[in-house]
Amino acid sequence: MALPRFSAGQRVSVTRSGNFSVPGGVYRIVNSMPAETGPPQYRIRNDAENFDRVIGESRLEALRAE
């Protein structure tokens, strides 16, 4: 089981790949999902949306702190 690479509150961007398209922009890590089989997953949210998305760690990139 891999340890989560991102922590709650961290700002990230989503890479565009595969069949699932997520709008570009800055997202905030809400929390990491409970560990199950496979790579870590996270609940993320864009401030312009009123819902969370669940996405795998391999599709996330950390943003530099401003």
The pLDDT profile of the chain, 66 residues, written as one tens digit per residue, is: 567 789 999 999 998 766 667 787 899 999 999 877 778 899 999 999 999 999 999 999 999 865
User: Which segments within 1-66 are labelled E, that is strand?
Assistant: 11-14, 27-32, 41-45, 53-56, 60-62
